[in-house]
């Protein structure tokens, strides 16, 4: 992927004295009193801001927060708590600017201001041309550094990228673009993907897209149950989608035609109830009873899959393969996680439950790249070109 990197502009002295507009993702969780409960996204946004300050730029930062109504300001929609937390982390005072679209504010080189919640601006969600034109006039350089919004063509993620004099990728977005290119555009083979979750329907387009490209497709969770049904196995009262058997069969056939495979579990961990204290029983996949719930892959299956992962060149991971929140049903996900950690493959992982599993097993440093954007990451796996990637590539041409 061709795009301009903000880091290169700074290194070349091209940001000095310039007005730099950074679109960050500062959409952090807050409690009922408005206190920030988790500040990872704020911390992740600081390198781009610091880079701009160090380069001598006048820095403007904006983000969405929550789901405000355009044109209707409410105190709970304000980025003021974010500015306070960012100021603490950066050891500086950061002022918040409201009603900023027409440029009725000033910002000096070496200063950073936080522009109030961009979703309050009329025309932001639908990327209205008149808003995009105004946004482009606010800056000399637009920096997109919010991968979590890269799949949305909105005013501050897309419109401004078309109208600003220069549009580039910040360090966070550039890292995502590099990792995605390495994992999917030019992967070291074999390329193995793990796609797990409760429903085939939510991941069907991902499975169909990956079936054209990967050498091994590991399915887990409720998705694996549907594939077991497609393979003629009984799954008791496990979660599955029988109406999607045709689609599952088609994915298996598409992989087989390319000499690739979708490994079907040969043993599973069952229980009679979905509960943390339910008794776990390991069974051959051919021996699942009518009243069984499959809550994890079995140890034989886990060991075989681990072996495939250790031999892979590239691994894409989206979703735990069992109910890893329950100790009795976490072995499959734990073994998969440890195999990814031990593999010499380049690995990219994304999705909320996947990140939770990575944290639980302490393998953060052993995963090649951990993606921060849920919806954007899934759309990339679906084979879609993200609006942010498309516009930045066009502006770099």
Q: What is the DSSP string of 303-354?
A: HHHHHHHHT-SEEEEES-SS-TTSGGG-HHHHHHHHHHHH--SEEEE-SHHH
pLDDT digit string (tens) for 277-331?
A: 999 999 999 999 999 999 999 999 999 999 999 999 999 999 999 999 999 999 9
The tens place of each residue's pLDDT in the chain, 397 residues long, gives 899 999 999 999 999 999 999 999 999 999 999 899 999 999 999 999 999 999 999 999 999 999 999 999 999 999 999 999 999 999 999 999 999 999 999 999 999 999 999 999 999 999 999 999 999 999 999 999 999 999 999 999 999 999 999 999 999 999 999 999 999 988 999 999 999 988 888 898 999 999 999 999 999 999 999 999 999 999 999 999 999 999 999 999 999 999 999 999 999 999 999 999 999 999 999 999 999 999 999 999 999 999 999 999 999 999 999 999 999 999 999 999 999 999 999 999 998 899 999 999 999 999 999 998 888 999 999 989 999 999 999 999 9
Angle formed by the axes of helices 374-381 and 200-210, nearest 10°:
50
Binding residues for ATP: 203, 325, 351-354
Binding residues for substrate: 25-27, 41, 64-67, 119, 152
Catalytic (active site) residue 375: yes
Please state the CATH superfamily assignment of the domain spanning residues 6-171+386-396 in this structure.
Answer: Phosphoglycerate kinase, N-terminal domain (3.40.50.1260)
pTM for this prediction? 0.91
Is 79:30 a contact under the CB 8 Å cutoff?
Answer: no
Is 91:46 a contact under the CB 8 Å cutoff?
Answer: no
Q: Which of 246, 259, 352, 365 is catalytic?
A: 352
The rounded distance, in Å, linking the Cα atoms of 77 and 72 is 9
Q: Which of 87, 236, 368, 375 is catalytic?
A: 375
Catalytic (active site) residue 34: no
Identify the CA nearest to 248 among candidates 276, 277, 220, 227.
Answer: 227
CA 243 to chain centre: 29
Domain with CATH 3.40.50.1260 in the chain: 6-171+386-396, 189-344
Binding residues: 25-27, 41, 64-67, 119, 152, 203, 325, 351-354
Hey, which bits of 116-175 come out as E strands? Answer: 141-144, 166-169
pLDDT digit string (tens) for 196-246?
A: 988 888 898 999 999 999 999 999 999 999 999 999 999 999 999 999 999
Catalytic (active site) residue 304: no
Catalytic (active site) residue 365: no
Pull the structure tokens for residue 159.
Answer: 């419109």
Q: Which CATH class is domain 189-344?
A: alpha beta
């Amino acid at each position: 992927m061709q795009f301009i990197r903000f880091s290169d502009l700074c290194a070349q002295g091209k940001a000095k004295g310039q007005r730099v507009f950074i679109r960050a993702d500062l959409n952090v969780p807050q409690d009922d009193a408005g206190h920030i409960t988790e500040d990872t996204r704020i911390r992740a946004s600081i390198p781009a801001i610091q880079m701009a300050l160090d380069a001598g730029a006048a820095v403007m930062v904006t983000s969405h927060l929550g789901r405000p109504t355009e044109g209707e300001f409410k105190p709970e929609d304000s980025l003021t708590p974010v500015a306070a937390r960012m100021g603490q982390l950066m050891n500086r005072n950061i002022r918040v600017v409201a009603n900023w679209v027409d440029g009725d504010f000033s910002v000096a080189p070496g200063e950073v201001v936080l522009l109030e919640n961009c979703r309050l601006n009329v025309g932001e969600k639908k990327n209205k041309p008149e808003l995009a034109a105004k946004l482009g006039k606010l800056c000399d350089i637009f920096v997109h550094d919010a991968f979590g919004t890269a799949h949305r063509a909105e005013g501050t993620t897309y419109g401004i990228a078309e109208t600003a004099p220069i549009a580039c990728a910040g360090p966070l977005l550039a890292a995502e673009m590099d990792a995605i290119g390495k994992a999917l555009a030019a992967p070291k083979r074999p390329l193995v993907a793990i796609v797990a979750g409760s429903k085939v329907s939510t991941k069907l387009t991902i499975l169909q897209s990956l079936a054209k490209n990967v050498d091994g497709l590991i399915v887990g969770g409720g998705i694996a149950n549907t594939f077991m049904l497609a393979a003629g196995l009984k799954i008791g009262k496990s979660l599955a989608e029988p109406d999607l058997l045709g689609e599952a069969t088609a994915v298996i056939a598409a992989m087989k035609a390319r000499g690739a495979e979708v490994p079907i579990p040969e043993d599973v961990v069952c229980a009679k109830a979905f509960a943390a204290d339910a008794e776990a029983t390991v069974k051959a996949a051919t021996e699942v009873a009518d009243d069984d719930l499959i809550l994890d892959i079995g140890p034989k299956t886990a060991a075989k899959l681990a072996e495939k992962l250790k031999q892979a060149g590239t691994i894409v991971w989206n979703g735990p393969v069992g109910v890893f929140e329950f100790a009795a049903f976490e072995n499959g996900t734990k073994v998969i996680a440890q195999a990814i950690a031990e593999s010499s493959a380049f690995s990219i992982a994304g999705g909320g439950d996947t990140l939770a599993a990575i944290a639980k097993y302490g393998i953060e440093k052993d995963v090649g790249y951990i993606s921060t954007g849920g919806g954007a990451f899934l759309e990339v796996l679906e084979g879609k070109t993200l609006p942010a990637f498309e516009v930045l590539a066009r502006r770099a041409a």
